[in-house]
Amino acid sequence: MNSVRRVSSALLVSAVFISLMLAPADRAAAFGYGARGPDVYAVQGMLKSLGYYAGQIDGIYGPITENGVKEFQRRYGLPATGNVDGQTLQSILWAYTELKIPKAPPSNPPSQTPGNEEAPRGQPPGETAPQEKDGISEEERRMAELINAERAKLGLAPLALDAQLSRVARIKSAEMAERNYFSHQSPVYGSPFEMMRSFGIPFRTAGENIACNRTVEAAHQSLMASQGHRENILNRAFDRVGIGIVDGGPCGKLFTQMFAGD
């Protein structure tokens, strides 16, 4: 019997962090005036980079954000509703990608197989956090501690911090930094589930959270403020987690949490 697989999603981010349900951008839920949270942070950050938003990036969808969205929509021939619907989000993502990603064709994807300990070509421009003997950094351990503290509040069993799963999560974060994208769907490895399988990770149920932020604590708070990501963190079906943190991305650090349950 196949178990239900949960995966909360995040699309491209500019300044702090973004989370949207895993789906093509043109099918993402719309949001607008009065909305709050990491989705708004990301839209504000991207619009600011594109020159359509001059306000504070605070995650609050107020009149300045609404006006910025309207200006963007007019510029790109979209209905100027001031709401971020699927088509508007897709256009913002496209414009931001055009701005941020070099036009030179990417190199061929690296050949990566389970058990190959060589660092992937997706290594970020900066350095990863210092690694301990099992390959897990202090920052990654800290994020796992924060996850388990949240679970403990609800009487849930702690998640084991899995070194193999953390390695895969770290590769995902590094690849996002190198290829300048932010999505659950990897151009090299496919979906989180396909990526786990390609590295020999066994699971019956699985999920993934990704974040872009400055610190472990700030990333954790943003994840907990997003329903889909919070549900992954507090999912009773998961029994282990892999954490991968690398320097890179527009926010300073990229975070991948991979959850699995047997």
Tell me the pLDDT tens digit for each residue of 193-240.
Answer: 999 999 999 999 999 999 999 999 999 999 999 999 999 999 999 999
**Model confidence at 152, in pLDDT bands (50, 70, 90)?**
very high
Per-residue pLDDT averaged across 59-85, rounded? 87
- The pLDDT of residue 73 is 80
- The pLDDT of residue 95 is 73
High-pLDDT (> 90) share of the chain, %: 47
The burial of 236, by beta-carbon neighbours within 10 Å (0-12 exposed, 13-18 middle, 19 or more buried), is given as exposed
* Rounded-to-integer distance, Cα 257 and Cα 259, Å: 6
- The pLDDT of residue 132 is 56
**Pick the residue with more confidence: 89 or 10?**
89
pLDDT in tens, 241-260: 999 999 988 888 999 999 99
**Model confidence at 57, in pLDDT bands (50, 70, 90)?**
confident
**Model confidence at 98, in pLDDT bands (50, 70, 90)?**
low
Q: Which region among 111-120, 125-134, 177-186 has the lowest average model confidence (pLDDT)? A: 111-120
- Paired sense of beta strands 253-261 and 240-247, if any: antiparallel
- The pLDDT of residue 255 is 96
- Exposure letters 238-250 (e unless 16+ CB within 10 A, then b): bbbbbbbbbbbbb
- The pLDDT of residue 241 is 98
Check whether 35 has a pLDDT greater than 50.
yes
Enter the pTM of the model.
Answer: 0.55
Residue 19 dihedral angles phi and psi, to the nearest 5°: -140, 130
